[in-house]
Amino acid sequence: MEESPEQVQRPMEFTYDWYADFLSDLQADGYTCRTFHEDLGDGDVVLRHDVDLSVDAAARMAALEAAQNVQSTYFFLLSSMLYNPMRGDARRTIRDISSLGHQVGLHFSTHEYWGADEEPSRAELEARVADELETFETVLGESTDVVSFHKPPSWVFGESYDGFESTYAQRFFEDVEYVADSRMRWRDDPPDVADFSGPVQVLSHPGLWREDDGTFRDRIGEAVMESCQTAGREADREFLGGR
């Protein structure tokens, strides 16, 4: 699509202001937000968020999007070392994100089950995903069948599976433009709406975005610190009575 007169190319920053401007550019250029239950055509974008670091960061981004009438999809790990979706506060936050109108799904890590050189049978993979989906639905409080693979092995690219919709299925990954901010390194250049042509999937990780710009190392350090502080508060409340 072509750049509108209002769009001005700005330096890339991993800040909420930059992301909000990017969403405004999508809207100004006529893009329609879709979910992973829909087919994508020209003028369609599916916004995906893999929540690797922080449920609270996901909530902040979800609220920003909702304020701009933007719908996206959030994927949560059951096996994160930094957050526990089964805990009450996290569970309520995940449900709040869903209540804003966003799609919510499972961020599935093959690495919890198989080594780097192992490729399970399709039936074994589908069974493991089904087990985690069943557990995650108790967190979400409703059914879901959308799945994003964490640090995906190449053997999931372009594949479709029984029982769930993969974000790496051909129609969402190979048949569209795909841009991602993994490790704060865009696959090509930072996304510029003026350069898009046809349908687009945009992957961003909420924990990498803050009020101020920073490095990948900064973001990991912040997430670890916040996770430790949360664990400390909860341990104090549960075992020491908040003294």
Long-range contacts of 150-154 (CB under 8 A, 24+ apart): 150/50, 150/52, 150/77, 150/107, 150/108, 150/109, 150/110, 150/111, 151/109, 151/111, 152/110, 153/110, 153/116, 153/119
Question: Domain for residue 82, yes or no?
Answer: yes
pLDDT (tens digit, 9 = 90+) per residue, 34-75? 999 999 999 999 999 999 999 999 999 999 999 999 999 999
Q: How far is CA 227 from CA 5, 173, 184, 207, 219, in A?
A: 43, 32, 20, 12, 12
- CATH value at residue 123: 3.20.20.370
What single-letter DSSP state applies at residue 206? Answer: G
Q: Please report the pLDDT score of residue 137 as a whole number.
A: 98
Please report which helix (H) or strand (E) contains residue 76, including its range: strand 73-77
Q: Please report the pLDDT score of residue 2 as a whole number.
A: 47
Question: Domain for residue 1, yes or no?
Answer: no
Question: Domain for residue 229, yes or no?
Answer: no
Question: Domain for residue 25, yes or no?
Answer: no
Question: Domain for residue 34, yes or no?
Answer: no
State how many domains the chain has: 1
Question: Domain for residue 40, yes or no?
Answer: no
How many whole angstroms separate alpha carbon 112 and alpha carbon 92?
A: 25
Q: Bridge partners of 178?
A: 201
Domain that holds residue 171: 48-182+195-214
pLDDT (tens digit, 9 = 90+) per residue, 150-182? 999 999 999 999 999 999 999 999 999 999 998
Question: Domain for residue 12, yes or no?
Answer: no
How many whole angstroms separate alpha carbon 76 and alpha carbon 92?
A: 13
Question: Domain for residue 11, yes or no?
Answer: no
